[in-house]
Amino acid sequence: MNSTTARKRPGLRQRVPGASGTIAIAQLFGTSLWFSANSTAADLMRVWHATAADIGWLTSAVQMGFILGTLYISSSGMADRYAASRIFVLSAVAGALFNLGFAWLASGLVSGAVLRFCVGVCLAGIYPMGMKLIVGWAPERTGQALAQLVAMLTLGTALPHAMRLVGMGFPWQLVITASSVLALLGAVLVGALGDGPHARTARSPAGGAQATASTWATFRIRAFRAAAFGYFGHMWELYAFWTTVPLLISRTALLSAFPRMGVSGLAFCFIGVGALGSLIGGALSQRIGSARVALGALAMSGLCALTFSIAWRQLSPPALAVLLLLWGASVIADSPQFSALTAKACPPGGVGGALAIQNSIGFAITVVSIAATTALFGYIGVDATWLLVPGPLLGLTGYAATMRGAAASGLPKT
On the question of pLDDT at 8 being above 60, the answer is no
* Structure confidence at residue 214 (pLDDT): 58
pTM for the full predicted model: 0.79
* Structure confidence at residue 205 (pLDDT): 47
pLDDT in tens, 21-44: 899 899 888 988 887 786 677 688
Q: What is the distance of C-alpha 392 from the center of its chain?
A: 17
* Structure confidence at residue 172 (pLDDT): 84
User: How many whole angstroms separate alpha carbon 360 and alpha carbon 262?
Assistant: 34
Three-state secondary structure readout of 312-381: CCCCCHHHHHHHHHHHHHHHHHCHHHHHHHHHHHCCHHHHHHHHHHHHHHHHHHHHHHHHHHHHHHHHHH
Domain definitions of the chain by residue range:
20-199+213-406
Mean pLDDT (the chain) is: 84
Class (C level, CATH) for 20-199+213-406: mainly alpha
On the question of pLDDT at 211 being above 80, the answer is no
pLDDT in tens, 83-126: 999 999 999 999 999 999 999 999 899 999 999 999 999 999 99
On the question of pLDDT at 200 being above 70, the answer is no
pLDDT in tens, 278-308: 999 999 998 999 999 999 999 999 999 999 9
For range 116-141, the mean pLDDT: 88
